[in-house]
Amino acid sequence: MKKNIKKTGRVILISLLMITTWGCTEFLDETDKSNFTLENYFTRPEHATSVVNSIYESLRPVMESGFGGGPWMMLEFATGLANTELGQAQNSLFVRSLINNSDNGYGQTYWTSYYRGIANANLAIEKIPEIEMDSETQNKLLGEARFLRAYYYYNLIRIFGNIPLITTSIDLTSPELYPDPATTAAVYDQIIADLEVAENAGLPWRDSSGRVSLGAVKTLMASAYLTMAGYPLQAGDQYYQLAAEKANDVIQSGVYDLFTDYDKLHSVEDKNQGENIFMIQYAAFTVPSSWQVSIIPYNRGISAYSSETGGIFSNQEFVGAFEEGDKRTDEKTFFYTEYSLESDRSSIKELGDYYIWKHFDEEAQLNSTSSGLNWPVFRYAEVLLIYAEAMNEANGPTDAAFEAVNKIRERAELPALEGLNQQAFREAVWREKWVELCFENKTWFDMVRLRKAWNVTTGEFEEYVGHQFTYGPTIKERELLFPIPTAEIRNNEKLSQNQGY
């Protein structure tokens, strides 16, 4: 941790001096660059906005993609459900083959980016209350900062387990320069405490600019409570009830609903709308996404992008495990297996595998090579599935739980579930989560939380440890966490490496 913490002040200075665009021009105000020091900066309302904007910046680095793969792929290859054609992306291959180690740059990006976001959040939470400004705006900005800090810690604790908990700004003289790791329970307590503040910060239910909304706060709370009920905390069934209540708040708000058309999941025009609750923001030609090159086949000549990396696509066995008649398996719904050639759009090429259509920006791929498509962090489909699972665990398969999951199935043109007992309903919801939320960085977290893996060959759920991927590797206990990056262990002797690495 020493390496990152010593740079905290410089990172914040850089972040605040940058003119950042977050999807639309009204999202950010340009910072005042004439009188900047940490001692005198936080004096004007625009400074409060500026520091909060810097916290959002840490969402993007994990999505960076290219011929070296992309950090976000780490969570997909760990499920055993993804494949790659990109032989030079060693970090992807190590995770996919379950021979990962602490030198993997993907893990380092998660650690560094999220702790940078946390550092900026800590600064915002400390300094914004000192600024004379409209109290309503001030509270909303503090709510955004609390949500983002909670989000970063929620991912870090689930990915690495053995992490420091830092809630104040620090410098070279701070006792926390070499922090001890916190207990898992302490990190979750802080996550919930931050979200409770954000919940009461006066945020709107939806923010079409992409800023944190009340819908995002309550969705993260529902997800966190669901995880606290499961492994590793196993905090008690009351957390299933809390998860159901927070998810139901979102449902009852009436603000969100499922798109009727799956194509809207990857529509630039519909970002931050419909079922999209919270997204990582991009803007073509300003802050374009780079992961488009990773979801197209390797050098098949189908895209206007000069880079076609074949970085990630679905195992055929996974798609083959979807229920018969599931609309999500239709060509160009969740996946695509053919596409026109860039040199002749009247000529269709069979691609041979199931590439990811649900994140495909067709305008960028065909013409512009600059994508403004957002990445989904939370969408309404997940809220429905959290509610169904949590309600079933707390109260059995109620009518409301059936209704929630059946909305997902109705859109997929599948028959409604009915008459299932608690165990059968439990596994039916798990299957819907594996399918509906695939390739959105959700499945591995569910596997670890449940200690279960879906055997796509047998269609059954089995123990996570000992589960064999269809292409050979077998999950060991160490795969319950990722390794803490080598640089962090080396620079902070209080950290210990996770078991098995």
Q: Which residues contact 157 (CB under 8 A, 6 or more apart)?
A: 163, 184, 187, 188, 191
Residue 460: pLDDT over 70:
yes
pLDDT at residue 146, rounded to an integer:
98
- Number of compact structural domains in the chain: 2
Q: How many residues does the structure list for the chain?
A: 501
* 198 and 291 belong to one structural domain: no
Residue 410: pLDDT over 70:
yes
Q: Which domain holds residue 67?
A: 2-81+104-203
Domain for residue 77, yes or no?
yes
| CATH code of the domain covering residue 162 | 1.25.40.890
> Are the CB atoms for 222 and 250 separated by under 8 Å?
yes
Bridge partner list, 280: 375
Domain boundary among 203, 238, 255: 203
Handedness of CA 96, 101, 104, 106 (dihedral sign): positive
* 44 and 180 belong to one structural domain: yes
* 116 and 19 belong to one structural domain: yes
> Are the CB atoms for 177 and 6 separated by under 8 Å?
yes
Instruction: Report pLDDT digits (tens) over 12-38.
Output: 433 443 333 333 434 434 444 555 667
pLDDT at residue 36, rounded to an integer:
61
Amino acid type, 203: L
* 197 and 315 belong to one structural domain: no
Lowest mean pLDDT among 27-31, 50-54, 62-66, 396-400: 27-31
Residue 41: pLDDT over 90:
no
As a whole-number percent, the residues of the chain with pLDDT over 90 amount to 89
Instruction: Report pLDDT digits (tens) over 281-337.
Output: 999 999 999 999 999 999 999 999 999 999 999 999 999 999 999 999 999 999 999
Per-residue exposure over 89-100, b if at least 16 CB sit within 10 Å of its own CB, e if not: bebbbbbbebeb
pLDDT at residue 1, rounded to an integer:
40
Residue 162: pLDDT over 80:
yes
**Region 189-208 average pLDDT:** 98
* 54 and 143 belong to one structural domain: yes
pLDDT at residue 173, rounded to an integer:
75
Residue (of 232, 231, 228, 202) closest to 217 by Cα position: 202
pLDDT at residue 200, rounded to an integer:
98
Query: Judging by DSSP bridges, how do beta strands 344-356 and 375-379 pair with one another?
Result: unpaired
The rounded distance, in Å, linking the Cα atoms of 46 and 48 is 5
Amino acid type, 133: M
Reported as a pLDDT band with limits 50, 70 and 90, residue 7 is very low
* 68 and 165 belong to one structural domain: yes
**Region 251-277 average pLDDT:** 98
Residue 103: pLDDT over 60:
yes
**Region 344-363 average pLDDT:** 97
Domain for residue 288, yes or no?
yes
> Are the CB atoms for 386 and 302 separated by under 8 Å?
no
* 46 and 148 belong to one structural domain: yes
> Are the CB atoms for 98 and 479 separated by under 8 Å?
yes
* 199 and 288 belong to one structural domain: no
Residue 437: pLDDT over 50:
yes
> Are the CB atoms for 438 and 318 separated by under 8 Å?
yes
Reported as a pLDDT band with limits 50, 70 and 90, residue 174 is confident
> Are the CB atoms for 404 and 313 separated by under 8 Å?
no
Domain for residue 424, yes or no?
no
What token pair was written down for 336? 């695509």
The rounded distance, in Å, linking the Cα atoms of 321 and 336 is 16
* 169 and 40 belong to one structural domain: yes
The rounded distance, in Å, linking the Cα atoms of 241 and 226 is 9
Domain for residue 261, yes or no?
no
Instruction: Report pLDDT digits (tens) over 219-246.
Output: 999 999 999 999 999 999 999 999 999 9
The rounded distance, in Å, linking the Cα atoms of 235 and 240 is 10
Domain boundary among 373, 400, 428: 373
DSSP alpha helix (H) spans, 437-485: 443-450
Residue (of 140, 303, 260, 286) closest to 211 by Cα position: 140
* 288 and 152 belong to one structural domain: no
DSSP assignments along 123-154, one per residue: HHHHHGGGS-S-HHHHHHHHHHHHHHHHHHHH
* 293 and 180 belong to one structural domain: no
pLDDT at residue 501, rounded to an integer:
97
Domain for residue 48, yes or no?
yes
pLDDT at residue 356, rounded to an integer:
98
Residue 6: pLDDT over 70:
no
Reported as a pLDDT band with limits 50, 70 and 90, residue 61 is very high
The rounded distance, in Å, linking the Cα atoms of 322 and 315 is 12
Domain boundary among 174, 203, 232: 203
Domain for residue 412, yes or no?
no
Domain for residue 24, yes or no?
yes
**CA 209 from centre of chain:** 19
* 188 and 41 belong to one structural domain: yes
pLDDT at residue 290, rounded to an integer:
97
As a whole-number percent, the residues of the chain with pLDDT over 70 amount to 93
Domain for residue 213, yes or no?
no
The rounded distance, in Å, linking the Cα atoms of 255 and 128 is 30
